Amino acid sequence: MPDLYDQLNQKLDAEEPAPGASPFDQLSAKLETHDPPAGITTMDIMDLESDQRSVMLMVMRDPNKVDGVLRTAIEQRFAERMADLAGTLRALIAGGWLIELGEEPNLRYRVHLRSRRGSAGSGLWSALSDRAL
């Protein structure tokens, strides 16, 4: 398996560099175009269906949102209003809106928010180390 330095060189050699672009600029441009930002923003929630939006807002507002909201709490709140709550949760997970934690019967759900630009763990070196693992 090639090491991180070899992978970096392969990426940089794969394309013609822009005139005057530093290796850092070249690699940053590649990482930004190939890796879409993970997660969601709060403004994206407005585009969801009504049931999905309700679940998302409940999970976001719950005081236990850091540890995740128990599935039983979601079921208690929406069981009467939603015919297919399990389908709604599956759709939100598949769409990258929620993160499912744990196993049955202790499933928890957390909102998958996009990290802000410049926050710890983001940037060139973090992206390189994530790819090398």
pLDDT per residue of the chain (133 residues) written in tens, 0 to 9: 457 777 766 766 666 656 677 777 766 766 665 545 555 666 778 888 888 889 898 988 888 777 888 898 988 888 888 888 889 999 988 888 888 888 888 889 988 876 544 444 556 666 666 665 5
Q: Judge whether 16 lies within some domain.
A: no
Q: Judge whether 2 lies within some domain.
A: no
DSSP-derived secondary structure letter, 117: T
CATH number at residue 50: 1.10.10.10
113 Cβ contact list (under 8 Å, min separation 6): 39, 40, 41, 42
Rounded to two decimals, what is the model's pTM? 0.56
68 Cβ contact list (under 8 Å, min separation 6): 99, 101, 102, 108, 109, 110
Q: Judge whether 79 lies within some domain.
A: yes
Q: Judge whether 93 lies within some domain.
A: yes
Q: Judge whether 48 lies within some domain.
A: yes
Q: What is the pLDDT of residue 118?
A: 47
Q: What is the pLDDT of residue 131?
A: 64
Range of the domain at 64: 42-111
Q: Judge whether 73 lies within some domain.
A: yes
Q: Judge whether 35 lies within some domain.
A: no
Amino acid at 40: I
Q: How many domains does the chain have?
A: 1
Q: What is the pLDDT of residue 67?
A: 81
